Structures are given as structure tokens and as C-alpha cells.
Structure 1
Amino acid sequence: MENNTQMVAVQELPNAAMHPRTDFPSEDAMKLYYLQLANIMNVNYADGNSEYLSMKCLYRKLRQFIHTLQLIGTHEWGQGIAEIQNASGAYMMQNNTPPKILLQNNREIGLHLQFVMQLAGNVGFLKQLEGILHYHFQNIETLLRSLKEEVDHNDALTSYIK
């Protein structure tokens, strides 16, 4: 039951060609875009309706997405398939398990192996998605720095007036 026709997933790192070709006309336009994205994605977990908190929540969510895609992208998907097939083949040869259960288990193992192989074949697309999300992540990071400076400046003015 060994299958030597394993797909080899090409491990490519995100590069500049994977980034969206969007330049924002201004920082305000970029901020508006990401505030709308935060609203669409419904990532505002914190109380309060400030732009800074909305951006911070979107920043955290994108960081989680990127981390998950990095885990998927760095996994060695091509390794272990033959071992799983050999182990399940040995299991299928047992005589003390009813044939109906063996067939059901074989079907389940086959479905999972098929999923793993399909995922391995699409790692390149996942890397592209990771690159796109990283582009937005960097933009939001820049916006957060400027928003933080604005908040700090406003706080300093408020405390100076008091």
C-alpha cells in the first residue's frame, strides 16, 4: 500500500511580488481603509470606539493569521505520508478486527491523507496569502505608531492644560 508518488511542496518565502499593488494616496486614506477592514472583520474586542483600539485589534488578528499561515507553510508536508500508509496497511492486515470497521478506518485515513496532500499542493498559495497579510500588517504597524504619537501628544496637551 506504499505510495511513492508523493507531492513535494515547494517552500517559498513571501517576497515583494506577492504584495498587493496598492499605494494609498495619503495616510488618512490608508487609515480609513484599515478602519473599514476592522469593522468588516468585526475585530473590535475592546470597549471604546477609538481608532487606535480598532487598529490594535486588527493588528492582533492579522498577527494571529500570519502566525497560523507560517505554521502551515513551514511544516514538512511531504514527509511521513509513506510511513502513515505503511502503518495503516499493517493495521488493515489484522484479522481480529471486523472487516466493516477496517474498511471504515481505511476510508477515514484515506480522506485525511488526501486532505494533507491537497494542502501540501497549495502551500504556495498560502505563502502568497501570508505575504499579502504581512503587507497589511506592516501598514497597520506604521499607522499604530502615528496614532500612538497622536494619542500621546493629546494626552500631554490635556495634562498641560489642567
Structure 2
Amino acid sequence: MKPNEVTAPAVGGMAVTTKAVFSISDEELKEFYLKEVVVLFANRCSPNRSEYELLCLLQAEYKQILHFFAQLIALPLEAGLSTVYAVSASYMMQNEHSIVDKKRTNASIAEHINAVSTLTANRGVINKLQGIYNTHYCNLTRLIKQCPESAGKKK
């Protein structure tokens, strides 16, 4: 048994153990988010802004980020690559375009294919980032609901 575990009485040879878990109080969490607002939006933070307004500002930013991630994940990137290949292949086969034009077009297409391939390969990372921002968004929503100013407003 590890030092930070607590054991309950054993029943039939089985013991129930609980593990110590880190937790952050809502006040500490609010302090963290208020500091983040100041770092991210220093020019929009003024002494006359309430904690509620600052937390709402950060929540709105997180909402935009989550919307972007949702759109990015929903894109059919793999299907788009096959379309790019089909269109570019027919262009490259045409005789009326010069070799220089074809090389320039090919370089541009390769650049776009690399970008899409990178996004496709990192879709798991994008999902993780979306999860992290969603956790922060939910934390902010909970903290905002605790503010006295939110009593009369609905989100």
C-alpha cells in the first residue's frame, strides 16, 4: 500500500482503499482564470471591470476556440486530399500550360497537401486540445454561475 492511501476494514480478504486526490478550490481556480484574463487581454482589463465581466470575457474566448476546434475536427480532410489529387492530375496532363506554370502549381498544391496532411496526422492532438479547452470552459461556466451578477442573467 502506498503512503497516501487509506485502507478500510477488509471483508472476505478484500480491502477497500481510497487514494488521495489533488483538488483546487473554486477561489483558487477563479484566481487562476482572472490572472489568465490579465495575461491574455491586458488592454481590455481595467480596474472598473468586475470579476464577473473578466470571467465572461475569457469564457467567450474559450467558446470561440471550442467552435473552431469543432469545425476543424468536422472537416473531411482525407476526402479533400483525393479531390486535390484528381483535379491537379488533370491540370498537369493538359498541354496548353507551360512547364513553369505546372511546376509552380505543383509546388502550391504540394504545400496545401502537406498542411492538410499535418492536420490529419495531428487530429488526436486537436481532440486533446478541444478537451482541455472544454474543461476550462465548464470550469468558467460554473464559476460565473457563482457570481452574484449572474443571478439575474441567463447564459
Pairwise same-fold verdict (TM > 0.5): yes
Gaps of 5+ in 1: 1-20, 154-162
Q: Is the Cα–Cα contact under 8 Å of residues 38 and 45 in structure 2 kept in the other structure?
A: no
Does 1:51 pair with 2:51? yes
**Distance in 2 (alpha carbons) for counterparts of 1:43 and 1:84:** 43
Gaps of 5+ in 2: 1-20
SS at match of 1:79: helix
The higher relative CO (CA closer than 8 Å, separation ≥ 6) is in 1
Instruction: Report which stretch shifted further, 92-101 or 41-50.
Output: 41-50
Match of 1:106, as an amino acid? N
Partner of 1:143: 143
CA distance 1:127–1:152, change in 2 (3 Å)? closer
SS at match of 1:80: helix
CA distance 1:76–1:109, change in 2 (3 Å)? same
Partner of 1:63: 63
The root-mean-square deviation of aligned C-alpha atoms, in Å, is 2.1
**Distance in 2 (alpha carbons) for counterparts of 1:64 and 1:94:** 43
Residue deviations 1:27-68 (CA, integer Å, cap 9, x gap) = 111110000111111177487421111000000000000110
Q: Is the Cα–Cα contact under 8 Å of residues 44 and 58 in structure 1 kept in the other structure?
A: no
Partner of 1:134: 134
**Distance in 2 (alpha carbons) for counterparts of 1:23 and 1:100:** 62
**Distance in 2 (alpha carbons) for counterparts of 1:85 and 1:39:** 46
**Distance in 2 (alpha carbons) for counterparts of 1:116 and 1:101:** 23
**Distance in 1 (alpha carbons) for counterparts of 2:42 and 2:34:** 10
Match of 2:109, as an amino acid? I
What's the TM-score, normalizing by structure 2? Answer: 0.76
What's the TM-score, normalizing by structure 1? Answer: 0.73
**Distance in 1 (alpha carbons) for counterparts of 2:113 and 2:28:** 46
Residue 80 of structure 1 deviates from its aligned partner by 2.8
**Distance in 1 (alpha carbons) for counterparts of 2:66 and 2:43:** 19
Match of 2:49, as an amino acid? N
Residue 23 of structure 1 deviates from its aligned partner by 3.1
CA distance 1:22–1:72, change in 2 (3 Å)? farther
Partner of 2:37: 38
Q: Is the Cα–Cα contact under 8 Å of residues 73 and 126 in structure 1 kept in the other structure?
A: yes
TM alignment of 1:115-126, pairs within 5 A = 115-126=115-126
User: Which protein shows a greater Rg?
Assistant: 2
